[in-house]
Amino acid sequence: MTLVPESPPYTHVDVVTQIFHGVEVIDPYRWLEDQNSKRTRRWIVEQTGYARAVLDSLPVRKPVRSRVVELLAVKMIGSAIQN
């Protein structure tokens, strides 16, 4: 049994405000656009870990996964990928 955290990991808010064509746009998560920053990479790892804990704990996950694997294994006529 997987333990599911009570809430998702904290997401830092760093408000950035810009004016586009006279319209003020507020973006509290602009910092996440830098995919190579250590802070963004750490956030991704933490969020992925939380999502995995939640999804892996669902009892319906195994049968759904099995069915998806079964459907993906179907041979397609004229397809470059065949099993």
Query: What pLDDT, in 10s, does the model give residues 47-83?
Result: 999 999 999 999 999 999 999 999 998 877 665 555 5
pLDDT at 22: 97
Is residue 11, in this structure, part of any structural domain at all?
A: no
Question: In which domain, by residue range, is 39 found?
Answer: 16-72
Residue 2 pLDDT greater than 70, yes or no: no
Query: Is the residue at 58 inside a domain?
Result: yes
Query: Considering the domain boundaries, does residue 6 fall inside one?
Result: no
In angstroms, what CA-CA distances link 23 with 13, 14, 31? 21, 19, 21
Helix locations, 22-60, DSSP H: 38-56
Q: With residue 20 as reference, give the H or E element that holds it.
A: strand 16-20
7 is a domain residue: no
Q: Which residue has the tokens 């294994």?
A: 73
Residue 5 is predicted with a pLDDT of 72
Q: Is the pTM of this model over 0.85?
A: no
Number of domains in the chain: 1
